[in-house]
A and B are shown apart, each in its own frame.
Chain A
Amino acid sequence: MGTPGSDGRFGDFGGSFVPETLVPALQELDAAFRGAWSDAAFRAELDDLLSGYAGRPSPLTECHRLGAELGCRLLLKREDLNHTGSHKINNVLGQALLARRMGKRRLVAETGAGQHGVATATAAALMGMDCLVFMGEVDMERQALNVFRMRLLGAQVTPALSGSRTLKDAVNEAMRYWVSAVEDTHYCLGSVMGPHPYPWMVREFHRVIGTETAEQCAALLGSEHPTGRPDLVVACVGGGSNAAGIFSGFAEDDDVELIGVEPAGGAAVGHGIPGIVHGMRSYLVQDEFGQVLEAESISAGLDYPGVGPEHAHLSASGRASYEPVSDQEVVDAFVLLSRTEGIIPALESAHAIAWVARERERLAGRTVVVNLSGRGDKDVAQMMEILGDRL
């Protein structure tokens, strides 16, 4: 998972398919990120924020009870313990610092579950910037708590009323807004998707997950395990940022299997056909004419018909596999992890747990790292409705 050229390609995927108005801004962003990423002072400032503000490094937790139940050695990378409750803060702190370095005074973002919106609102508050978040009207209902959190943090939350009124439409609205405000506004995109340089830049801001996990695995497994590496690394995939972050620590190690877990109702890699939307060429859930279809998932954060272009490339090249889980399997995994380990996962992260639980036979005796991308507080109200009588 290296550095793409200025055309932003990962094999056949990626690129920058955006309205002409935005092209100069994206080129400026590419140049600014290249400069910042090779500037030791920028890296040091970001590292300070990640440790002193976000709480990194996040622990690698061994799940003894669930591991015993499933018959594998199970390790969780605890992104749920970061400030604001998910991996999203890694990317947002990086982009907010970069936006400030570029002289922008406002952040605009899209959000699905609200985690990226909350993280962006948080970074904006921290750095004294304005913040505007677009969120699908349907998601605003599903994730009312996060809407309130964003407003509490001083952000303006605007419903996306077009299309399916979920994440893809929030991206459309954020892009439309950015076209009109590109001069003083940075678009703080929340996953490894969109036009170049976002897929690459966002992956680099999440690389810290993979780097830490590789070090933690070496320390934990080093003496007993021949390589000091796990056999599998598993992460849920919406746009694919938490997966890209943790995969980046292991992609060059061919003995580590990389598994991305998609919701069955929005499996862009699984059912997708190559398409071009939101600035990128990637796999896309679409009809025979190229109209983008609505994804359907229990988790608002994975309700996205596309996927980051580097994942399309990792799949096409055979380096990573992408597998679907059903909403029911996710609900069961949500309960399973809560009951066996005392960790309530985000519904998104529960997808990765669900895959491990379902595939227990093929995982028997192996060492599996799951990226626990977020915590489940935001999902408790929704799960109360689904599970209320069952518990």
Chain B
Amino acid sequence: MSLAAALGSRRDLGGKCLVPYLTGGFGDWTTMLGAAADAGADAIEVGIPFSDPVMDGPVIQEASSRALAEGTTPASVLDALARIDLGVPLAVMTYVNLVYRFGYERFARTAAASSVAAAILPDLPLEECGEWSEVADAAGVETVMLAAPTASDDRLDRVVARSRGFVYAVGLLGITGERDELASSAKVIAGRARERTELPVLVGVGISTPAQAVEVCEVADGVVIGSVIVRRALETGSPDAVGELVGTFRDALDRG
């Protein structure tokens, strides 16, 4: 199933979309993905670890280095994803050099063959994404674009037009990591993006508690939650604990 279809149907039924992020390749990660799906995730974002993740804060950096130390490679993550069926679509999130080195076209075809629905490449902005987007479109991989608070209206128009699957609204000026409060920029960027697109608009970066998720979903169609989940995975190593945490977000969003 495509990301756009899965998230769109949740929204059309009046619900809010929940997309947890987990770093691929450390500990019992595939079981964790299953636990997140069972706990009510609408889709899951799987990180392919990179040595120099510039959009990520300390928690996801730590998970990435652990995964790399365990010998994780782009191919090993994609292989593992090809062998599981969680019943929800998967998006891979990674940095462009791993994809470039793999070969854009080969990566897009391998991802599609591994039942990966979508790709998120935070260091491949609009101006540079042409070559990749073309082969991804052809292979049927949805390329999710990021909409940042710093974008002008005109830029935002072009970003959402190029996005597939959903629009990833960056909730704040900063990198991934937990924050005590919802940034004031989160609802603003969600609203600006929603005015411009039929795609679901999900806010990510800095969404750390169920209450923050509910608050931002007054405007947004859903949330991506990363560091808070990965921290739980790092601290406990337990798929059940990850599932339980995803469940608390699911419940909160369902209650509204």
At the interface, yes or no: B256 with Cβ under 8 Å from chain A? Answer: no
A274, B103: Cα distance in complex, Å:
12
Interface membership of B240, Cβ < 8 A:
no
Partner among A163, A172, A289 whose Cβ is within 8 Å of the Cβ of B101? A289
Interface mask (B224-255 → A, CB under 8 Å = 1, otherwise 0):
00000000000000000000000000000000
Set B65, B98, B101, B125: member contacting A17, Cβ < 8 A: B125
**Distance A19 CA – B65 CA, assembled complex (angstroms):** 21
Min CB distance A355 to B, Å, is 29
- Taking a contact as CB atoms closer than 8 A, the residue among B100, B159, B172 that contacts A275 in the complex is B100
Partner of A20, one of B73, B101, B122, B152: B122
Closest to A7 in B: B127
The smallest C-beta distance from B149 to any residue of chain A, in angstroms, reads 7
- Report the separation of the CA atoms of residues A15 and B174 in the bound assembly, to the nearest whole angstrom: 22
Partner of B125, one of A18, A169, A291: A18
- Number of residues from B at the complex interface, CB < 8 A: 43
Which A residues lie within 8 Å of B97 (CB)? 275-277, 284, 286, 290, 292
In the complex, which of the residues B74, B101, B125, B175 contacts A16, with contact meaning CB atoms closer than 8 Å?
B125
Partner of A21, one of B98, B102, B149, B152: B149
Q: Which residues of B contact A290 (CB under 8 A)?
A: 50, 74, 97-102
Chain A residues, CB < 8 A from B125: 16-20, 23
Across the interface, which residues of A come within 8 angstroms of B112, CB to CB?
none
Residues of B within 8 A of A172 (CB): 52-54
* Residue among B52, B61, B145, B147 having the largest count of chain A Cβ atoms under 10 Å: B52
CB of A53 to closest CB in B, whole Å:
34
The reply on B128 being an interface residue by CB < 8 A is yes
Query: Which among A32-40, A115-123, A177-185, A338-346 touches the partner chain?
Result: A177-185
Cβ of A17 and Cβ of B150 under 8 Å apart? no
Please report which residues of chain A, range 180-213, place their CB below 8 angstroms from some CB of chain B when the two chains form the complex: 180-183
Cα of A276 to Cα of B147 in the assembled complex, Å: 22
Is A175's beta carbon under 8 Å from chain B?
yes
Cβ-defined contact, B123 with A24, below 8 A = no
Q: Does B51 contact A (CB under 8 A)?
A: yes
B220 to chain A, nearest CB (A): 17
How far, in Å, is B59 (CB) from chain A's closest CB?
12
B80: CB under 8 A from chain A?
Answer: no
Determine the chain A residues whose CB is within 8 A of the CB of B128 once the complex forms. Answer: 15-17
Name the A residues within 8 Å of B151 (CB-CB).
20, 23-24
Answer whether A182 and B122 are a contact pair too, CB < 8 Å, given A176-B57, A277-B97, A286-B101: no
Chain B CB within 10 Å, residue with most, of A7, A169, A276, A281: A276
A20, A24, A163, A289: the one contacting B52 at CB < 8 Å is: A163
- The closest CB in chain B to the CB of A196 belongs to B127
Q: Is A87 interfacial (CB 8 A cutoff)?
A: no
Partner of B146, one of A20, A163, A286: A20
Across the interface, name the chain A residue whose C-beta is closest to B76. A289
User: Does any Cβ of B come within 8 Å of A168's Cβ?
Assistant: yes
Residue of B55, B100, B101, B172 with most chain A CB atoms under a 10 A cut-off:
B101
A3, CB-defined interface residue at 8 Å: no
Task: Give per-residue flags for B151-189: 1 if the beta carbon is below 8 A from chain A beta carbons, else 0.
Answer: 110010001000000000010111100000000000000
Which of chain B's residues 21-59 have a Cβ closer than 8 Å to chain A? 50-55, 57-58
Q: Mark B93-127, 1 if CB is under 8 A from A, else 0.
A: 00011111110000000000000000000111111
Which residues of A sit under 8 angstroms from B126, Cβ to Cβ? Answer: 20, 23
How far does the alpha carbon of A175 sit from the alpha carbon of B149 in the complex, in Å?
A: 17
Interfacial residues of chain A within 275-295, with CB under 8 A of chain B in the complex: 275-279, 281, 284, 286, 288-292
- The answer to the question of A382 belonging to the interface, with a C-beta cut-off of 8 Å to chain B, is no
Q: Which of B77-100 contact A (CB under 8 A)?
A: 96-100
Structural contact, B51 and A292, CB atoms closer than 8 A: yes
- The residue on B at minimum CB distance from A281 is B100
Cβ contacts under 8 Å, B96 to chain A: 17, 276
How many Å lie between the Cα of A66 and that of B50 in the bound state?
Answer: 47
Q: Are B147 and A289 in contact (CB under 8 A)?
A: no
- Check A162 for interface membership: any CB of B closer than 8 A: yes
Apart from A182-B150, A290-B101, what 14 extra A-B contacts exist at CB < 8 Å?
A17-B124, A17-B125, A19-B55, A20-B159, A21-B149, A22-B150, A23-B155, A179-B174, A182-B173, A277-B52, A278-B52, A284-B97, A290-B50, A290-B102
10 intermolecular pairs with C-beta atoms under 8 Å apart: A17-B96, A20-B148, A20-B151, A21-B170, A23-B148, A182-B150, A274-B100, A275-B100, A290-B97, A290-B99
Ranked nearest first, the 10 interchain pairs of A and B with the lowest CB-CB distance are A290-B101, A180-B174, A21-B148, A20-B146, A291-B51, A20-B148, A290-B98, A290-B97, A276-B97, A292-B51
